[in-house]
Amino acid sequence: MTVRVTVADPMVHRCDVLAVGVFAAPGRLEGLAAKLDQALGGALARALHDEKFTAELGKVFVLHTLGKLPAARVAIVGLGDRDAFTIDRLRLAAASVARAAQDRRLSRLALAPLQHRDWEPAAIAAARAEGAILGTYAFTKYRKEKSHGVDVDLLAANRAEATALEAGRRRGQVVAEAVNYARDLVNEPPNVLTPDALAGEARRAARGTKLKVQVWGPQDLKKRGLEVILAVGGASAHTPRLILMDYAPARPRRTIALAGKGVTFDTGGVDLKTPEGMATMKEDMSGAAAVLATMRALPLLQPAVRVTAAIAAVENAVGSRAMRPGDVVTAVNGTTIEITNTDAEGRLILADAVAHLAAGGPDEIIDLATLTGAASVALGPYAAAVMGSDQGLVDRLIGAGARAGERLVPFPLYEEYRRAMRSDIADIKNAASRHGGAQKGAAFIGEFAGKVPWAHVDIAPVAFLDGEEGTSPVLPRGGTGFGVRTLLEYLAGRG
């Protein structure tokens, strides 16, 4: 998709479809919608009345202009209640109309100008560009039939407005393309996206940029004492990797470390999953995908923070070399871990990754992982869980998610959760009872952050949607790329 800013009067702009937003229950058409209705001899108002169009958020009605306007069609997009309208709702509306154009195989969509007293033009353009690109995403790599491409014009009244819109358009496009890149990684089949293939993606992401990438294979991991990652990936023919990335601007304000869970396929190991539970386990590297996509976007967005990342990439398989319940392994920081459940493997590889990052002395550590079914049970496919050792960091992440259009819900992390992870024979165990499972998994990871302020985002509820429940105009079925928008907003340091 190409999104561009165009200076044009919507009444005379040629396109396949001109989209105009309307709020619910004004009783009559207003502004540009009223002008279009007048040009169409009242046909638009009559059609909307006949269709009982209520301007519910995201609803789209398309009418042929029959040559009465340069635009071949007019799309009226519901914006919902005027008093409840937000930037995120604007993003959803843009996604809805872009998808409607795609479904009708229309190639050129124009979004009529929108002004709002509380929003800068750049913010409006960013939300619209994000929505249009996210809303038309489809993973068609392995299908003969490809999705229809739609180009989008963001209409501006004059060149001054166009300049402001262009800055927002560029950011919105970079962010949305990063999300879609993460979606592509998650949607790849597990026989294609192995740990080594994921490392290859990191190397490609760094080409032509100032990103630095190191990839540690089995021998490097053994030499450096990352025994836990080796234990989790020990049964697979696709050997583990630790992917290290570094974005370093000239004068960074601070250093933020990101850790991503990259289980490219999860059988559960010796504690084998059910067939139903295993069916979508290519998604178990969604945290890694979000971190990699974020790092890939940083050279384009150029935030004034240093960002280091550690992505632990493994395949949790079954075999003679698989870790077993009762095994004890030692993390890179010297902490001993009793394996009590081989299907609680994500927190294990994050133990080594987070401990490695903490040793570098960052100001903060944030990890993303499809960690627990408990978070999914608690939240459904509507939000991710967030918790950590530093409430200020947690609150800032929640705020960044709200601005970016991703819900993060805070979970408590009481001392009792940490105590529940004590082992009788080692320093800590990787699984306890199922009650409070999301918090216990987080408490385990937190042990390896040391004294560095740390937050954990459990994206299991929203990383991969395999039913209609939870989907929205910007969250498709399959990989959603959840977390990328929040991380990029947080690293930008806005708000």
Q: How far, in whole angstroms, is CA 377 from its chain's centroid?
A: 20
Per-residue HEC secondary structure of 170-215 comes to: HHHHHHHHHHHHHHHHHHCCCCCCCHHHHHHHHHHHHCCCCCEEEE
3-state secondary structure of 371: coil
CA pair distance 371, 442, nearest whole angstrom: 8
Annotated catalytic residue within 273, 396, 418, 477: 273
Query: Residues near 59 by Cβ (< 8 Å), separated by ≥ 6?
Result: 53, 77, 78, 96
Annotated catalytic residue within 296, 347, 429, 440: 347
Nearest to 293 by CA among 265, 262, 255: 262
In this structure, are residues 245 and 298 in contact, taking their beta carbons and an 8 Å threshold?
A: no
Judged on CB neighbours under 10 Å (0-12, 13-18, 19+), 387 is buried
465 forms beta bridges with 478
CA pair distance 198, 175, nearest whole angstrom: 20
Determine whether 347 is an active site residue. Answer: yes
**Would you list the DSSP string of 79-145?**
---GGG--HHHHHHHHHHHHHHHHHTT--EEEEPP---TTS-HHHHHHHHHHHHHHHT----TT-SS
Q: Which two tokens stand for residue 326?
A: 């009762």
Continuous segment of H or E residues that includes residue 489: helix 484-492
Per the listing, tokens 């997009």 go with 77
Instruction: Determine the angle formed by the axes of helices 31-39 and 43-50, rounding to 10 degrees.
Output: 110
CA pair distance 350, 370, nearest whole angstrom: 11
> Residues in the chain, how many?
495
Per the listing, tokens 């989907």 go with 471
Q: How far, in whole angstroms, is CA 350 from its chain's centroid?
A: 19
In this structure, are residues 350 and 242 in contact, taking their beta carbons and an 8 Å threshold?
A: no
Q: Which residues are catalytic?
A: 273, 347
